[in-house]
Chain A
Amino acid sequence: MLDERWDVVVVGGGHAGAEAAAAAARCGARTLLLTHRIETIGEMSCNPAVGGIGKGHLVREVDALDGIIARAADAAGIHFKLLNRSKGPAVRGPRAQADRALFRTAVQALLRATPGLEMRGEPVEDLILGGDGAVAGVVTAAGKRIGAGAVVITTGTFLRGEIHIGDRRTPAGRVGEAPAIGLALTLERLGLPLARLKTGTPPRLDGRTIDWAALEPQHGDDPPEPLSWMTERITNRQVACAITYTNAATHELIRANLHHSAVYGGGISGVGPRYCPSIEDKVVRFADKMRHQIFLEREGLDDDTVYPNGISTSLAEPVQAAVVASLPGLERAVILRPGYAIEYDHVDPRALRPTLEVRAAPRLFLAGQINGTTGYEEAAAQGVMAGVNAAARAGGTAAPDRVLSRGEAYIGVLVDDLVLQGVTEPYRMLTARSEHRLALRADNAGLRLTETGIAWGCVGAERAAAHRTFAATVAEAEARARQDQATPTAFAAAGAPVNHDGRRRSAFEALGLPGLPEDGVATLFPWLRDLPPRVLAELRARALYAPYVERQAAELRVLEREERLPIPDDLDFAAIPGLSLEMRQRLDRARPATLGSAGRLAGVTPAAIAALAVHLRTREPRFT
């Protein structure tokens, strides 16, 4: 007996949960979001910032699918910076520090404004399984049975979460909040492979006790560049942050007290995030480094809390106090809340299909940190994909998979890496993870993905219209730029010397020439001046990367033939002649969805791929 029934139920209200619920609802599914406490929906558990290099790319992609994280960050942003500004456009990453309270408010407001979406503060303890092994709903802590066409679990670090400060341990999902034990047991019962990971957060400081005058200030960009393509401009007051550095005394203190650290004292077995190490890790691993940089970031406009970015720690509280006091400008700083490490269960994401659906439990989706990732952006990206697919699944059994490829999006890279390779440490996005990073820029996310999002039904009318106008303008401008030409003499006259080979060069080529001054190009082709800045920026980036992207596209086409060949979910790798035991194990663990993804698996040989290809061919019904 069910107490009520929804199309999609999302468990968890963090960045993955909020995004999943919003995406499912945008796709037209009646969606219920259930979480421990409704007030903490959209909470930033760790650093008060969104975006960065690789992460900013993910944010823009979620935004291109009409997600909420970028809009919330724009509404809450108090310090914006485009990272890698001096490098090429492909690796520039937008980042915003947000007012923690404003961010939470913005997320909740965006969710409330989404038709078909309801939110409740009711913890979920168990899943309802149908007769066919598929998930059919959830059971709340109060015993209420809620039916669902699909369930998305986004419980972050809450699965058997345990907080460590020095040698003190407290079961918790986040400081002051209870962990999810019942769900962990349910997932275990479903036979999902669980493992421990850890992450950490720095102590929070009272900004009124920091000697700001003694510190080097760091200002954001002026004007700030919004994260969302739909944001016209940033209206919040902008604030500076400050930089301080650790020193020999700090390092000495940490070394002398390592045995009081949960990680080095042996209290934690989980593997931590390589790219966001604790200060203990940094001092031990980079022993020859004389100092480490710490950014002091304000958590809000009306909040004196300061987040010291760079000293995540699980040292005992008195040691944390001494470490903070050893830093210039923080001699008298008061710790409002100690830093801690948190250990939690995650599910081996190789148990998931490329739609983030659990292979062994149809209609159950997992998204976010539960899949072994770290970061709000990675969570949001999985959330939107799980939400879109959950909505499709709830609508009917024959729904096609909604998947982005590695060549289309960082989201595709993220999901493919997770479900194919699994994780050995919390997974963080880096531009280096993409083999197509020249094509996957943060600033062309809309052109890459919004049309797909429209087809999936997760993009609203307003964005769809804006996108199509923009795409048409870009196409038109590119066509004109490729046609409009000038002679080498004209180039030279404009202060842009090229070879005097008599060959006329197009405006498009001119835009891609390194070292050609902007006004030079504009003198040659004055109409470029009249283009909207976004359109011109897009043209420039395309022109710059055109030769490389064309080569890459040719390589991609060759690969695609194999990429598209599906491997059935139920294929028995043991039945394939010519596969060694090792190859069988590797393939079985990852269960690649296509021949192409099988080829990307670490350690799988070309010969094994050939044997697999032959086998797939012979399985097919033959009509010849």
Chain B
Amino acid sequence: MPVQAESGAPVSAADTIFALASGAGRAAIAVMRLSGPGAGAVLTALAGRLPTPRMASLRRLRDPRDGDLLDEALVLWMPGPASYTGEDSAELHLHGGRAVVAAVADALVAAGARPAEPGEFTRRAFLHGRLDLTAAEGIADLIEAETAAQRRQALRQAGGALGTLYAGWAEQLTRLLARQEAFIEFEEEDLPDDLDARVAEEAAGLRAEMAAHLADGARSERLREGLCFAILGAPNVGKSSLLNALAGREAAIVSARAGTTRDVVEVVLDLGGVPVTLADTAGLRESADEIEQEGIRRALRRAEEAEMVIAVFAADAPPDPATLALLGPETLVVVNKCDLAPAPSAIADRVPLAVAARTGAGLEALRARLAEAAALRAGLTAAAGLTRPRHAPQAAGHGDARGAAGPGDARRGRDRAAAGR
């Protein structure tokens, strides 16, 4: 059955939007909302047949392209007009891992939906007359919050390498578009004869570059939320002091008493353009304190989830066996308190990085090593990757348009194709 809008005119499935309704980041459950005339078709593409309306059903979600199992999720199907937006809607209650959410978002795009703009669900609800006065009043705040989050995120991204890459592309596209438009608008000017051909050639080059970038897939999806490096070590080896020295502010409470950090303290550092969450964890030791035990459990979990572990030892004490037991091939070994005693030349056959958080000695070298590791793990050593599903359809649109047309945004590219026949 063809998708029909209320006016009776056919609309594209691209008018179907989705967004994460729960907060970003790790959580037990992530709720993905879906709305639009193609919501039913998109849901069917991922979850098989449509569930009974407004009844929670357990479904296996599969990637429509290759049938890969993405997640086992609770699925809600709310056909319009009795839904929040007034359109056909669905909710997917996913397991809250970043990888799951990213893969489902990717599959939704493949099925023809697109990521929603901030406030778009609300706008649709309004356009379908689904908002009452109280709802409307509450929503302004919501929108503001949504925008603030968006802004912070945009700012973070704008500062990074991905932002630089996209800005470069945007500039190149603008230049190409300007030359192409000049070719169309100013025929009577004394322009170079091969302007058109040169633009086409450069556009083809840019297109190849974008295609390579797209093929890169979700490699650096993690760039958006950033990497996580966990600091592990015995109590009182100076993990918190190290974190504070790196962050340049008092993020963790530092005291001479062992076991001060009972939970995980996080700071976000900009390491060479990559946002990195540095997690300071409770010192690893046997403890009778229940709260501290929970802290240690969390520390270990954090270490498992982290992209990299920084194991900290103290120069004035023998290496802590509990920490040694956790060393993996990717672990960075750091010896702190080198102002109090000389650092050992090797710990578990590795050459440790010697620092003194108190005096600042060795910190620059540590920072450089971290930045290098961050760039490597975010895939920036080659090129910046795609961080959100939103980027993929847009970049794909450009590739498509230029394939047919030449430079410009998708719209103008198409114009040009026919205009400059």
Q: Which residues of A contact B (CB under 8 A)?
A: 52-54, 83-84, 87-88, 90-91, 245, 275, 291-293, 295, 430-432, 435, 437-438, 514, 544-545, 548, 551-552, 554, 557-558, 561-562, 565, 576-578, 605-607, 609-611, 613-615, 617-618
Contacts and interface: CB of A to CB of B under 8 A. Distances in A.
Of the candidates B10, B118, B185, B186, the one having the most CB atoms from chain A within 10 angstroms of its own CB is B185
Nearest to B15: A558
Nearest to B137: A577
Contacts of A438: 414-415, 418-419
Contact of A87 (B123, B190, B419): B419
Given A87-B419, A558-B11, A607 B131 contact: no
B84 interface: no
20 contacts: A52-B188, A53-B184, A84-B184, A90-B415, A431-B419, A438-B414, A554-B12, A558-B5, A561-B7, A561-B127, A606-B117, A607-B147, A609-B119, A610-B119, A610-B122, A611-B140, A614-B126, A614-B131, A614-B136, A618-B131
Which residue among A52, A558, A562, A611 has the maximum number of chain B CB atoms within 10 Å of its CB? A611
Contact of B9 (A557, A565, A578, A609): A557
Interface of B: 5, 7, 9-12, 15, 117-120, 122-123, 126-127, 129, 131, 133, 136-137, 139-141, 143-144, 146-147, 150, 181, 184-190, 411-412, 414-415, 417-421
B122 A614 contact: yes
A611 B143 contact: yes
Contacts of B146: 607
Nearest to A87: B420
> What does DSSP make chain B's interface, helix, strand, loop or mixed?
helix
Contacts of A606: 117-120, 123
A577 B143 CA distance: 10
B184 A562 contact: no
Nearest to A560: B7
A430 B123 CA distance: 33
A576 B147 CA distance: 16
Given A514-B421, A545-B418, A614-B140, A87 B126 contact: no
Contacts of B144: 578, 607
B120 A554 contact: no
Given A430-B185, A558-B15, A606-B118, A90 B7 contact: no
Nearest to B411: A435
Contacts of B7: 557, 561
Contacts of A577: 137, 140-141
Contacts of B141: 577-578
B220 to A, nearest CB: 26
A557 B412 CA distance: 18
B127 A613 contact: yes
A438 B184 CA distance: 13
Contacts of B417: 548
B11 A554 contact: yes
B421 A544 contact: yes
A27 B122 CA distance: 44
Given A554-B12, A577-B140, 12 more contacts: A52-B188, A88-B418, A91-B420, A293-B188, A438-B415, A548-B415, A548-B417, A565-B127, A578-B143, A605-B147, A607-B143, A610-B143
Contacts of A545: 418
A551 B421 CA distance: 18
Contact of A83 (B131, B181, B187): B187
Contacts of B143: 578, 607, 610-611
Contacts of B122: 610, 613-614
A617 B140 contact: no
Contacts of A613: 122-123, 126-127
Contact of B10 (A54, A91, A554, A617): A554
A148 to B, nearest CB: 39
A585 B11 CA distance: 35
B123 A610 contact: yes
With a 10 A CB-CB cut-off, give which of B11, B129, B421 has the most chain A CB atoms. B421
Nearest to B116: A606
Nearest to A579: B140
Nearest to B142: A578
A88 B11 contact: no
A87 B180 CA distance: 12
Contacts of A435: 411
A431 B181 CA distance: 9
Nearest to B37: A558
A544 B418 contact: yes
Given A557-B5, A558-B11, A618 B133 contact: yes
